[in-house]
Amino acid sequence: MSEITWIEVDLNAIEHNLKAIKGMVGSGTKILAIVKADAYGHGAARVAHTLEQNGADMLGVAFPGEGIELRKNNINIPILILNPVLSEQIEDVIQHSLGVTVNSLDIANEISVTAKKHHSNIRIHVEIDTGMGGAGVCPDKALSFIKALLLIENLEIEGVFTHFNSSEEKDKSFTHEQNSKFKGVLKQLENEKISIPLIHAANSAAILDIPDSHFNMVRPGLILYGIFPSNHVLRNIELKQAMSFKTRIINLKQLDPGSVIGYGGTFEILQQTTVATIPVGYKDGFSRCFSDLGEVLVHGKRFPIIGRVCMDRCFIDVTNLPDVEIGSEVILLGNQGSETISIESAAKLIGTIPYEIVCNVGTKTPKKMYKPTGKKL
């Protein structure tokens, strides 16, 4: 029996967003498109094919397994692993021609030894920690670190980058400080006549707000999928939301005043009410925080979620919808008629970030339909 809850991904929207980003940064700036976390829940393989076909220069993933899966799906453009790798992952990385982020000379030497065995050179990028505080080389050690890397055989230093920690916030002073530190490292390299082909720092928010951080490559993530990172970034680009989250009504019931609905009986019925059950819950990534708070679309109109969101179902009040029936389509995220429930508004409603909404829903809902093809992956 087919699933009646699904994610719909508009690949035309992703194509549109990529072209809009390319138009903003200019033809001289390359695009490292971020497809980690299954392309933010949109389905990495299908999204990566769309990005590759429409001129993305490189893809960014978090871990080797994500890159290997893309290679198995016939993605041919360069792929960069943005996190450090462990010794036991090096063999797979080399076999699948993945670029590596290197922050350790020990790992760099291990990569070199394995690369020699394969008679190949490995593309590496060096992360400069200008304030993220996790991985990366400190700015005052960057020059000596990169000089040491240049002496290691079978390594090709393709890129150097940093990672902004608050570019989507209203106060961007720390981001500007990070950018300044990064430029300081670049100046040191220039003074030593060390040329590294790819320089990247700008994530989605910095692409929109801080053109001084674009350098010759940018790393769009959330904006590729048609979502602005926060309310504190410029809306200076037209984006189209690519993800919709849909289901169908599986039950309709009339409840009398005084009845309660769902676990804990948190919602009391005050008047004759038509309650629809939909087969969506927190197992599908639909947060329990939407309990007694969220809305859905049915027949192009908004209706409230009543009671608690359960593991595999929740309830909506459709009293004022006379033509509702079992099987009617329900939109939890996306458009229907003239109404829209955006991922940004849903995140704001429950006090989280859009990243969490798409990753939770996208990775926990197994059925994905793709437009324009409409095929399941």
Give burial (CB, 10 Å; 0-12/13-18/19+) of 160: buried
Q: Which pair of tokens denotes residue 176?
A: 């500007």
Q: What is the distance between the alpha carbons of residues 45 and 34, in angstroms, rounded to a whole number?
A: 12
Active-site residue, selected from the candidate residues 22, 36, 246, 368: 36
Alpha-carbon distance of 309 to 264, in angstroms, equals 11
Q: Catalytic: 36?
A: yes
What CA–CA distance (Å, rounded) separates 21 from 56? 10
- Please indicate whether residue 355 is annotated as part of the active site: no
Residue 362: DSSP 8-state: H
CA separation for the pair 50, 62 (Å, rounded): 19
What is the DSSP-derived secondary structure letter of residue 226?
T
| Bridge-based pairing state of the strands 260-261 and 267-268 | antiparallel
- Kindly report the number of other CB atoms within 10 A of residue 314's CB atom: 29
Helix, strand or coil for residue 262? coil
- DSSP character at residue 212: G
Catalytic residue among 263, 283, 375, 376: 263
- Do the Cβ atoms of 135 and 83 come closer than 8 Å? yes
CA 222/CA 167 separation, integer angstroms: 13
Q: What is the DSSP letter of 361?
A: H
CA atoms within 13 A on the CB side of 325: 2
What does the alpha-carbon distance between residue 85 and residue 82 come to, in Å, rounded to a whole number? 9
Q: How many residues does the chain have?
A: 377
| Structure-block tokens of residue 205 | 């928010």
Find out whether 286 and 295 touch, Cβ atoms under 8 Å. Answer: no
Q: Rounded to an integer, what distance in angstroms lies between the CA atom of residue 213 and that of residue 184?
A: 13
Q: Are 145 and 137 in contact (CB under 8 A)?
A: yes
Active site residues: 36, 263
